[in-house]
Structure 1
Amino acid sequence: MTFQRDNAAFEDWLRDQCDVVEDDLVYKHERMQKDAFTFLRATFFRWARRIEKLCPKLEDAPAVLSVGDLHIENYGTWRDAEGRLVWGINDFDEAAVIPYPFDLVRLATSARLAPKAQADNRVAAATILEGYREGLANPAPSLLDEQESWMRPFVVCSDEERRDFWDEVKDYPDAEPPAEVVSALKESLPEGFKIKRYASRRKGGGGLGRPRFVVIAKWNGGKIVREAKALVPSAWHWAHETRGKPRFLDLARKGFRAPDPHLALSDGDGYIIRRIAPDQRKIDLSNRSGPRLRLDLLWAQGFDLGAVHAAKRSAQEAIADDLPKRKDDWLYEAAKTAAEDVQEDFDEWKKVRLPL
């Protein structure tokens, strides 16, 4: 099936799962014309449909609860219950039980397609895999106040970024969330809050089209923000025509994590509720400079993925048994094949879409 048909079929399925924001889908279609990396971020549904055909030697690997839509910009910072600054994977919308290598392949593919990629592709794949092995064997959260303090200069929010954040919040358009969302957002706020307004928010790549609402409130002399984003089953289930429930919290809170205490699901599990703040954000790795820094971060990304996959002891043992059986260059070769397929889909999309 062509990408165009898969895209249309997936969007029809999405409309059955939530009240799609059609203008956001139009915006998503425009963003998908930017480059192959942005296109990859927006099209996990196509990846889920294609990856087993592209990499048949990996489909028999142990299937574990996986991130699914993993890429180099699906990492960021948050504060845990102790107020510590934590870095790691921070979006599990597409979590599903998937052969474990496919998370690694998608991460390496995204590094390969990043517009400002600097590291040699073979070295990048080897570095990700090295970090992954360490994270699988010795899983732990990445705490920026302790062992991972070297990251702080590259991920801590600058004064300019803080101003940009609040300017963006000011520009969020007013909205009237459904009653269940209003209730969930209010419940997420600390005692003594005063609601200033509700708004909608357009953010993300593959999640564009799902309703997002925010509440901006006043508390103890300053503004605080919470977001509610519609949660639907993983596109892995769409691609494989299976039934499945969202597994977001199963990865976000369990295992070797220092979880975000503000992260929750609304009653009925229809929306993800989270804190939005300048120091709680995704990291734009594709814009980082310096080959050595890039490799260090790729190693750390592999490490955190290993820690996520190690959350269940049986999964950790199955992967540890399977991984040594793979050829040395398996990740490099798989990412190369996957990247070429993404590029073909991107080229097709560019041909049939009007120019930006």
Structure 2
Amino acid sequence: MSFRKDNAAYEAWLRTQCDVVARDLTEKHARMKDSPFLFLRATYFRFAKTIPKLLPDLMDAPTVLSVGDLHLENFGTWRDAEGRLVWGVNDFDEAAVMPYPLDLVRLAASIRLAPPGPLGKQAAADAVLKGYRAGLADPRPALLDQSHIWMLRYALDADNKSKKFWHDIAKLKKAEPPKKVIRALTKSLPEDAEDIQFRRRTAGGGSLGRPRYVAIAQWRGGRLLREAKALVPSAWVWAHDSKAASSHFLTIATAKYRAPDPFLDTRAHFIVRRLAPDSRKIELGKKAGSAVNANLMWTMGYDLGAIHAAGSPGADKLLADLTKRPRGWLNDAAKTAAAAVTRDYEEWVG
């Protein structure tokens, strides 16, 4: 099936899962024309549908609760319950049980599709895989003010990102969320929060089209933000006609080796979380290629390994399967996946 047909089918299914915001979906369609990298970000559903035929040799690998839509810009920062600054995967909308190599392939494919950088594609895939092995062997979160101090430059306000953050918040348009969303957002705020206002937010790549609302409140001298984003089943469910009884979002986001955001929750079929300059996705934009260095790729792989280690069948079985894979398998698989994304992109823009 052509990409356009799959796209139409997926969006028809999405409309049965949430109240799709038509103008945001239109913006998503436009962004998908910008580059193959942004196209990949917006089209996990297509990856989920086509990857079994593209890479059949990977489908017999052990299955594990996986991220699904993993890519270079699916990482960010947040504060855990102890106030520690944590870095890692911060979007689990597409979490589902699938063969474990697929997360690695999608991350490595996104590296291939990013703007060119100083690190070669094979070297980047090797760094991801080495980090993944280490994360399976010794899983733990990345604490930026303790074990991963060198990563602070990727997370802190080196170029006025806080100012831009608040500037973008100020531009959000007023909204009237459904009553259930108002209750969910209000409940997540301190009881004595005041002057609560609601805004509509457009953000993300693959999630564009799903309704997002932001509560802005005053509390003890400053502003607080909470976001509610529609929670729908993973596109893996759509692609494979699965009958998922419930979302895996919280299970994977708060698993054993995570240091989760205490404000992260699911209520009334919405994901509720804190928004702040230090609690956000890190958008690399045009710098995505230059950010691809061996240390960062290793750490991305490490975080994924720690995520997979928390699930069944366990780290030992995943490591055992890895030893059977031929040298260079990840780079080869990523090349195949990236080529398929490029073909779909060309169909979309043609």
Please tell me the TM-score bracket, short chain as reference. Answer: over 0.9
- In the alignment, the residues of structure 1 paired with residue 89 and residue 260 of structure 2 have an alpha-carbon distance, to the nearest angstrom, of 11
Aligned to 1:354: none
Aligned to 2:112: 112
| 1:283 shift after superposition | 1.8
TM-score norm. by structure 2 comes to 0.97
Cα pair 1:195 1:215 within 8 Å, conserved: no
The answer as to 2:263 corresponding to 1:262 is yes
Cα pair 2:60 2:99 within 8 Å, conserved: yes
RMSD: 1.4
| 1:70 shift after superposition | 0.3
One-letter amino acid of the counterpart of residue 114, structure 2: A
- In the alignment, the residues of structure 2 paired with residue 285 and residue 350 of structure 1 have an alpha-carbon distance, to the nearest angstrom, of 23
| 1:155 shift after superposition | 1.4
- In the alignment, the residues of structure 2 paired with residue 118 and residue 243 of structure 1 have an alpha-carbon distance, to the nearest angstrom, of 43
One-letter amino acid of the counterpart of residue 302, structure 2: F
- In the alignment, the residues of structure 1 paired with residue 349 and residue 119 of structure 2 have an alpha-carbon distance, to the nearest angstrom, of 27
- In the alignment, the residues of structure 2 paired with residue 29 and residue 53 of structure 1 have an alpha-carbon distance, to the nearest angstrom, of 25
Identical-residue share of aligned pairs (%): 54
Aligned to 2:293: 294
Q: Which runs of 5+ in 1 are unaligned?
A: 352-356
One-letter amino acid of the counterpart of residue 312, structure 1: G
List structure 1 runs of 4+ shifted beyond 6 angstroms: 289-293
Aligned to 2:163: 163
| 1:293 shift after superposition | 6.6
**Cα distance, 1:131–1:286 mapped onto 2, change above 3 Å:** farther
TM-score norm. by structure 1 comes to 0.95
One-letter amino acid of the counterpart of residue 240, structure 1: H
Q: Which runs of 5+ in 2 are unaligned?
A: none
Aligned to 2:341: 342
Q: Deviations over 1:105-162 (max 9, x none)?
A: 0000001101243311111100000000000110000001111001112211247211
| 1:314 shift after superposition | 2.8
- In the alignment, the residues of structure 2 paired with residue 56 and residue 348 of structure 1 have an alpha-carbon distance, to the nearest angstrom, of 24
Q: Deviations over 1:205-233 (max 9, x none)?
A: 00000000011000001011100000000
| 1:291 shift after superposition | 6.3
One-letter amino acid of the counterpart of residue 299, structure 2: A
Q: Deviations over 1:250-279 (max 9, x none)?
A: 11101201110010011x4x0000000011
- In the alignment, the residues of structure 1 paired with residue 139 and residue 286 of structure 2 have an alpha-carbon distance, to the nearest angstrom, of 28
- In the alignment, the residues of structure 2 paired with residue 15 and residue 293 of structure 1 have an alpha-carbon distance, to the nearest angstrom, of 36
- In the alignment, the residues of structure 2 paired with residue 3 and residue 102 of structure 1 have an alpha-carbon distance, to the nearest angstrom, of 20
Name the count of aligned residue pairs.
349
- In the alignment, the residues of structure 2 paired with residue 112 and residue 289 of structure 1 have an alpha-carbon distance, to the nearest angstrom, of 11
Q: How does 1:102-141 map to 2 (within 5 A)?
A: 102-141=102-141
- In the alignment, the residues of structure 1 paired with residue 6 and residue 289 of structure 2 have an alpha-carbon distance, to the nearest angstrom, of 38
- In the alignment, the residues of structure 1 paired with residue 72 and residue 283 of structure 2 have an alpha-carbon distance, to the nearest angstrom, of 8
Cα pair 2:284 2:291 within 8 Å, conserved: no
